[in-house]
Amino acid sequence: DCRQYTNRSCEECLKNVTCLWCTSSRRCMEYPVRRILPPADLCELRSARWGVCWVNFEALIIAMSVVGGTLLIMLGVCCCCCCCKKKSKKQVSGGPLIVPDKDDEREAREREKRRVRQEERRAEMKSRHDEIRRKYGTV
């Protein structure tokens, strides 16, 4: 029973993990497990100790809020950076300009070579057809 440690020390009270120490009233009581935080009529948050004597619930809540908020902000920044990075590859200065990488540049060079060869073949075929037309007088 936690009440037997009332008016003793915080360390003695908190040896039992089910106990809550209230420094303002120097009472040791059962931790209200149905509630996450002890109610104010039982003990104020700044006076309540659980687990260790040097951390009160008020400081614990503030520290957890700061850590949680920092983690959420970092997660949001990372998500924004990733999204912006993907968008910047696909779209630069508002237009749908694709930022070329090495593979894209190689493909573009190969396409250009094929286009030039095709135009050379067309010109060659046109000159052959013109020669045949002249030979048979259809020009």
Q: What is the pLDDT of residues 115-126, one digit of tens each?
A: 999 999 999 999
Q: Which of 24-33, 40-49, 64-73 has the highest mean pLDDT?
A: 64-73
Question: What is the model's pTM?
Answer: 0.51
Whether 38 has a pLDDT exceeding 90, the answer reads no
88, 94, 95, 98: CA torsion to nearest 10:
0
Whether 43 has a pLDDT exceeding 70, the answer reads yes
User: What is the Cα 49 distance to its own chain's centre?
Assistant: 34
**Do strands 19-22 and 48-50 pair parallel, antiparallel, or not at all (unpaired)?**
antiparallel
User: What is the Cα 137 distance to its own chain's centre?
Assistant: 76
Where does the pLDDT of residue 34 fall: very low under 50, low under 70, confident under 90, or very high at 90 and above?
Answer: confident
Greater pLDDT, 74 or 60: 74
SS3 content of the chain, % helix, strand, coil (to 5): 55, 15, 30
The secondary structure element, H or E, covering residue 50 is: strand 48-50
Q: Both tokens of residue 28?
A: 């040791």
Once rounded to an integer, what is the mean pLDDT over residues 31-37? Answer: 84
The secondary structure element, H or E, covering residue 51 is: none
The Cβ-side half-sphere exposure at 116, using a 13 Å CA radius, reads 6
- Mean pLDDT of the residues in the chain: 86
